[in-house]
Amino acid sequence: MELATPPGVLLESLPSLYVHLPFCKSRCRYCDFNAWVWKGQDLGRLVDALLQEAELRVPGLRPQTFFLGGGTPSLLPPEELLRLLQGLDAILDFRDSSLESSMEANPESFDEATAEAAVAGGLNRISIGAQSFRPPVLAAYDRPHGPEDIEKAVASARGAGFENLNLDLIFAFPGQDPLEWEADLNRALRLGPQHLSCYELTFEPGTPLTRKRDAGRMEEEDSDLCLHLFDRTLEICSEAGLDRYEISNFSLPGMACLHNLAGWRRLPLVGIGPGACGWGDGVHRKNISDPAAWQADLEGGGDGLEESSTPNSQTSAFEHLMMGLRLEKEGVRLSRVKESTGVNVEDLPGDPLALLVAEGLLEILSGPEGRVLRATPAGFPLLDHSLQRLLPEGRG
């Protein structure tokens, strides 16, 4: 109902573009992204390959949002970063078409020169991976930076002219005093970000942190405490004028991340780079994850694709709900799900939606744009539970 951004800012038919830079200085212990420790691989050739993929697959794309993510894009030397951005612009014309052009940066590698290259390359939003301001926590995560590096990186961004700045933070570190998280959050807010992403620490399958937990050497925080931290985060951010518009995302009014919004609304997405995923015309596309293999494929005349798949209409409808219900106030427009997948989710076998509504976990509102499904305040922190019940039976 309450859109996270004024209607008409993002168009349903236009694509967004994501470019993946797969290398990091070191590997964080909680991380399950497609990230690889940089061991001197030729970054110039990597940039060439990225440009080559863009040229090959989507020349003249004119995306409505642009996002350079990773890994750690700030790992690129300034001149390579600039070459990449200018090259992409020449192929895609993103500076003209894009409402928002973001880049991820890590504190240890985001200096003035890099910030200036980013601005010169046409970027207008920066997202800095702060994660925590506490040295022991950063050490437990194996982050290659200290708290002061975060402040320096913010200063570099501001100095180069970034007016739209996000900080990534993680809460619910096992055994941490809740007040320590509040202190972290307040310290981040003092840096005056336009946007904050506050993630609960997740024990993803296969990460060193998860192995440590499974070996009994670390205990996940109790869900009551996580809820408390989640609620406190909301209160503290609201006091600072940042609204929550998604599970983990907060922004000053009108400063929600458009690129990510497009993802939650499930608008078309083009992914360039190793392991990058895309979506459009009913097809999921995923690139080869291993940077060397992806690069070799492109250099050998391939298109870097690992697999593409076409989910059936039930699965596709579920994906709309899975993404859209994350938008706290906006929710999912049911008519849009119907239009794009042919499935009326109010008509599913066994009617799980009605049950979830009856249990007070979801609600359906009627408005000018038709019926909108969203999580209730009680159901919002339990979204995965609701989603599991909405999952189509059998394989998708």
Partner 1 sequence: MSKKLPLHRIRNFSIIAHIDHGKSTLADRLMEHAGAVDKNRSRDQLLDSMDLERERGITIKAASVALEVDVRGEMHLLNLIDTPGHVDFSYEVEKSLQACEGALLLIDAAQGIQAQTVANATLAMDQDMEVIPVLNKIDLPHARPEEVLEQLEHVLLLESESCISCSAKTGKGVEELIEAVVDRVPAPTGDQDNPLRALIFDAKYDEYRGVIVNLRMVDGVIRKGDMVHMLGAKADYEVLELGKFTPDPKPCDSLEPGEVGYLISNIKKLGDVHIGDTLTVQKGERASRLPGYREPQPMVWCGLYPVRSGDFENLRSALNTLKLNDSSLVFEPESSDALGFGFRCGFLGLLHMEIVQERLERESGLDIVQTAPTVPYEILMQGGNLHTIHSPGELPESNLYEEIREPVVTTHLLIPVEAIGAIMHLCSERRGRFLRQEHLSPTRVMLTWDLPLSEIIFDFYDKLKSGTRGYGTMNMDEPRFEAADLVKLRILVGGNEADALSIICHKEVAERRGRSVLRKLQKEIPRHQFEVALQASIGGKIVARESIRALSKNVTAKCYGGDITRKRKLLEQQKKGKKRMKSIGNVEVPQKAFLAVLSTDE
Residues within the interface to ligand SF4 (CB under 6 A): 24, 27-28, 31, 33, 35, 70-72, 106, 129
Compare residues 193 and 271 and give the one whose CB is closer to partner 1.
271
Select from partner 1, ligand SF4, none the partner in contact with residue 276, using the beta carbon and a kind-dependent cut-off of 5 to 8 Å: partner 1
Choose which of 91, 361, 372, 373 interacts with partner 1 (CB under 8 A): 361
Note whether 155 and 134 are within 8 A (CB): no
Select from ligand SF4, partner 1, none the partner in contact with residue 68, using the beta carbon and a kind-dependent cut-off of 5 to 8 Å: none
State the Cα–Cα distance between residues 319 and 325, nearest whole angstrom. 10
Choose which of 263, 291, 304, 324 interacts with partner 1 (CB under 8 A): 263
Structure tokens at 82: 């600039």
Residues 333-352 that bind partner 1 (CB under 8 A): none
For residue 218, the minimal CB distance to ligand SF4 (Å) is: 18
Compare residues 119 and 262 and give the one whose CB is closer to partner 1.
262
Structure tokens at 259: 């690129």
Compare residues 141 and 318 and give the one whose CB is closer to ligand SF4.
141
For 376, residues 6+ apart whose C-beta sits below 8 A from its C-beta are 360, 361, 362, 363
Structure tokens at 108: 């240890």
State the Cα–Cα distance between residues 55 and 67, nearest whole angstrom. 17
Within 13 Å and on the Cβ side, how many CA atoms surround 29?
16
**Cβ count near 344 (within 10 Å):** 13
Select from partner 1, ligand SF4, none the partner in contact with residue 122, using the beta carbon and a kind-dependent cut-off of 5 to 8 Å: none
CA angle 168, 259, 375 (to 5 degrees): 75
Query: Using the rule CB under 8 A, is 247 a contact of partner 1?
Result: yes
Per-residue x/- track, 166-205, partner 1 (CB under 8 A)? ---------------------------------xxxx--x
State the Cα–Cα distance between residues 325 and 373, nearest whole angstrom. 7
**Cβ count near 306 (within 10 Å):** 16
Q: Which residues bind partner 1 (CB under 8 A)?
A: 16, 18, 199-202, 205, 223-224, 226-227, 230, 247-248, 259-260, 262-264, 266, 269, 271, 276-279, 284, 286, 309, 315, 318-319, 322-323, 326, 359, 361, 380-385, 387-388, 391, 396
